[in-house]
Structure 1
Amino acid sequence: MSELFQHRARKRFGQNFLHDAGVIHRILRAIAAKEGQHLLEIGPGQGALTEGLVDSGAQLDVIELDLDLIPQLKWKFGLKPNFRLHQGDAMKFDFSTLPQAGEKLRVVGNLPYNISTPLIFHLLEHAGIIQDMHFMLQKEVVERLAAEPGNGDWGRLSIMVQYFCKVDYLFTVGPGAFNPPPKVESAIVRLAPYAEPPYPAKDHRLLERIVREAFNQRRKTLRNTLKTLLSVEDIEAVGVDPTLRPEQLDVSDFVKLANRLAELTPDS
């Protein structure tokens, strides 16, 4: 019956459909969904991962933007009592409407490159209701998410995601696992939000501002990049060397700077 639902991947949705059974099994094993859990799959596509997630017995909500894929997903999974389909844009979706009181979501998705970063930040706004997230992303994005200080990939994305989450680069996936094959390698990442950030910021918006300003000119020293926000004396007061470049600082250093800015910004 699947020939009824021939679907050509759409470039405007960034669609590359996963078809490699070995990779699918490996992802499902990493997620290890269980009955009693509540999963959310973003962009199920043709249901490559959906089948294994539904069969786990967990409650599964899926969000799909492409209207043409809805009939296929309904035909495959619509009669499953633990499956619920939402047609819409995950970037505009209110995830807080899904879990029951005290329940946490486990989020899964093969995310198109063009929305991966904004969607991760949208999800982090709901970090309190999320247990973990497993994403297939472009490999270079996962390298940035999992980067360490001093690495060329270390930057705004690394710091802000690692402020909220423990990040684990799980494994790499080659282009041949998809139809059509993308021109780049992909990778699987696990993001697990902390119950409480290891280095709490008084105002994470100020942390975002400090990090953004610092990396706007990443080759310059902090005394230059942060001069409109903090003096050299303010930087030194929290034990950070103002002659360092932003890529040499870890998350805790940026939080110290943001908290100093919060002290100097009473109305923040």
Structure 2
Amino acid sequence: MARPARISRALSQNFLADRATAEHVARLTVPHGRRVPLLLEVGAGKGALTARLAPRCHELHAHEIDPQLVPNLRTRFSTTPQVRVIAGDFMLTQPPCTPFAVAGNVPFSRTADIVDWCLRATALTDATLLTQLEYARKRTGDYGSWTLLTVRSWPCHDWRLVGRIDRRRFSPVPRVDAGVVRIERRRTPLLEPAALHDWRHLVELGFSGVGGSLHASVRRAHPRRRVDSAFRAARLDPRVLVGEVSPDHWLRLHQELTS
């Protein structure tokens, strides 16, 4: 009999310990009863989510960095032909060239790196990730404020908070609840490719904090009269804090400043 694997604090391991929760996350990952061609799972762990994802895809690559967990995973899914267990660090994986999705109960300590990997992958269709609830709420505007990463990627990616998971659904029990973040690459970007460079420059300028306000930061690159006019058209108060500006308002501001 295989010995149970030890929990690794270094790997930030908190395994899903509830079948109903795993089923719920799988439905959020692959909605509407469809099957996806290729799904990459980050941090398969003991296979709780893997087992629920497998029937929903034609091919599932279950990545697991902990070498103690890999043998049991391979044994568990040896008779599930669409599942391929891959040992090693997901971050070293080259993104597929064909359309694919990502899902996983990601290590909280590596969330930012995994999200960045997903945003850079040009063939990614969507990513459904269990993260710390605070991270999920910040990135999706659930607090009523928006972050640089979300706004900068908004023309090409839609961010949504689609679920909340009680921390007692994990083993060992983490200190905080989890959120389910859904990131979808837009089939039709909100801006033309040629406009994306100016968009990123404007957003990064706005979040620079120089000048004490969004209005003051933007004035570093545009005449005050034009900035005033753009703020009026976007229905933005000149005193607004940068984090309070929604992506839709950013889009209008960008339109006015680059027209």
TM-score normalised per structure 1: 0.80
Q: Can you list the C-alpha shifts for 1:184-233, whole angstroms capped at 9, x where unaligned? A: 11011222210122244635354334333323439932233234433424
Q: Can you list the C-alpha shifts for 1:25-62, whole angstroms capped at 9, x where unaligned? A: 21122234645632111111111111122234521112
Q: In the alignment, what sits opposite 1:266?
A: none
Q: Distance in 1 between matches of 2:29 and 2:107?
A: 20
Check the 8 A contact 1:202/1:262 in 2, yes or no.
no
Q: Which amino acid aligns with 1:121?
A: D
Q: In the alignment, what sits opposite 2:152?
A: 160
Structure 1 residue 15: deviation in Å? 1.0
| C-alpha distance 221-35 of structure 1, shift in aligned 2 (>3 A) | closer
**Which has the higher mean CA deviation after the structures are superposed, 22-31 or 181-190?**
22-31
Task: Give 1:6's match in structure 2, choosing from 4, 7, 10.
Answer: 4
Q: Which amino acid aligns with 2:29?
A: I
Check the 8 A contact 2:215/2:239 in 1, yes or no.
yes
Q: In the alignment, what sits opposite 1:193?
A: 185
| C-alpha distance 111-209 of structure 1, shift in aligned 2 (>3 A) | farther
| C-alpha distance 59-118 of structure 1, shift in aligned 2 (>3 A) | same
Q: Distance in 2 between matches of 1:136 and 1:197?
A: 25
CA RMSD, Structure 1 to Structure 2 (Å): 2.9
Task: Give 2:204's match in structure 1, choosing from 181, 197, 212.
Answer: 212
Check the 8 A contact 2:207/2:214 in 1, yes or no.
no
Runs of 5+ unmatched residues, structure 2: none
| C-alpha distance 153-41 of structure 1, shift in aligned 2 (>3 A) | same
Q: In the alignment, what sits opposite 1:87?
A: 87
Q: In the alignment, what sits opposite 1:50?
A: 50
| C-alpha distance 57-254 of structure 1, shift in aligned 2 (>3 A) | closer
SS of the residue aligned with 2:194?
coil
Structure 1 residue 181: deviation in Å? 0.5
Q: In the alignment, what sits opposite 2:107?
A: 112
Check the 8 A contact 2:35/2:57 in 1, yes or no.
yes
| C-alpha distance 171-35 of structure 1, shift in aligned 2 (>3 A) | closer
| C-alpha distance 113-260 of structure 1, shift in aligned 2 (>3 A) | farther
Runs of 5+ unmatched residues, structure 1: 264-268
| C-alpha distance 65-204 of structure 1, shift in aligned 2 (>3 A) | farther
Q: Distance in 2 between matches of 1:22 and 1:169?
A: 19
Check the 8 A contact 2:103/2:128 in 1, yes or no.
yes
SS of the residue aligned with 1:212?
helix
Structure 1 residue 71: deviation in Å? 1.2
Q: Can you list the C-alpha shifts for 1:112-161, whole angstroms capped at 9, x where unaligned? A: 222212321221112x422222111111111112216xx55422133134
SS of the residue aligned with 2:68?
helix
Q: State the percentage of identical aligned residues.
A: 21
Q: In the alignment, what sits opposite 2:27?
A: 29
Q: How does 1:1-268 map to 2 (within 5 A)?
A: 1=1, 4-32=2-30, 34-35=34-35, 37-56=37-56, 58-97=58-97, 99=98, 104-126=99-121, 128-147=122-141, 151-200=143-192, 202-217=194-209, 220-236=212-228, 238=230, 239=233, 242-255=238-251
SS of the residue aligned with 2:10?
helix
